[in-house]
Amino acid sequence: MKKVISVCQIQAFTIILSLLALAMVFCPTAHAVKLGLASAWLFDDNAGKVAKDVVSGHDGDIKGSLEWVNNGKFGGALEFPGKGDSYVRVDHDDVFNSDPYTFVAWVKLEAKSWQYVVWRNGDVWPEPELVRHLDIWIHDADYPVFMWHVKGNVGRIDGKTIIADGNWHHIAKVYDGKNVQMFVDGKLDGEEPSGGTLDTSESPIWIGARPGDVAATGLFDEVGFFTEALSEDELNDVMDNGLADYAAVEAVGKATTTWALLKSKK
């Protein structure tokens, strides 16, 4: 007897072929899943008081007098005026307590006294608890400093490279569960044992400032948070090509692609 192919079987086969075609067309998004990109703020919004997270909707509220500009490292950027009331605030999500993680950003900072790249330990200063999970600031001598806490004990890396010099620099913090690494412009600039599992909290992320009127002066672009410890090669690929290829967005124009589409292809 000849087998009869049902309508349901034909439809199922068609759906499978369609999904395979989508996977081929959108192959860069699979790379994003592989590297664990959880959030990406490309700062290409050009207007408004919201900095969109094109990956998972952890949009940032724009506070104070930040300005949209079109001379970013990749397309647009946000200009920070060096005022403590001017920053991007992202509400807490447990994903930002990830162990391990990688944080990346392009910055073009002026040589100003004491600046902040990213802060995550509450909305007040002095901080009520020493639980810094993500903390990057710029020393008065214009080099980056990473800090973190393990059971309230302080960990710290002081960088060797001057980055507050009016030029674009890529900065990355990599925490693999045992060590913290500082990368500047794709090269290792410092490394220290973490001292244990980093403390966590339910604090928001501040980009470009911390409470107490310590803030950045300059441009920010391509800020991203990964839930994996990226290798040096992976960091350099992200740095050179931008986050668009990892964030389920089109490379040309960085137009947002529906996040539901990415999830449907897992």
Q: Which amino acid belongs to residue 193?
A: P
Please determine, for residue 40, whether its predicted confidence score (pLDDT) is greater than 50.
yes
Predicted pLDDT of residue 3: 47
Q: What CATH number does the domain located at 7-264 have?
A: 2.60.120.200
Q: Check pLDDT > 60 for residue 227.
A: yes
- Across residues 218-242, what is the average pLDDT? 97
Where along the chain do its domains lie? 7-264
Rounded distance between C-alpha atoms, residue 180 and residue 77, angstroms: 28
**Amino acid identity, residue 224?**
G
Q: Provide CB contacts within 8 A for 69, sequence distance 6+.
A: 76, 77, 78, 79, 219
Stated as kind and residue range, the H or E segment containing 262 is helix 259-264
Q: Is the CB of residue 52 less than 8 Å from the CB of residue 59?
A: yes
| Residue 245: per-residue pLDDT | 86
- Dist CA 202 CA 222 (whole Å): 24
pLDDT tens sequence across 128-183: 999 999 999 999 999 999 999 999 999 999 999 999 999 999 999 999 999 999 99
pLDDT at site 105:
98
Percent of the chain with pLDDT over 90: 79
117-130 average pLDDT score? 96
| C-alpha separations of 10 from 21, 23, 24, 76 in Å | 17, 20, 21, 46
Q: For 48-100, write each residue's pLDDT tens digit.
A: 999 999 999 999 999 999 999 999 999 999 999 999 999 999 999 999 999 99
pLDDT at position 12: 53
pLDDT value, residue 9 = 54
Task: Determine if the peptide bond prior to 81 is cis (ω within 30°).
Answer: no
Q: How many residues does the chain have?
A: 266
3-class SS of residue 58: coil
Range scoring the smallest mean pLDDT among 7-16, 22-31, 78-87, 143-152: 22-31
Q: Once rounded to an integer, what is the mean pLDDT over residues 25-40? A: 62
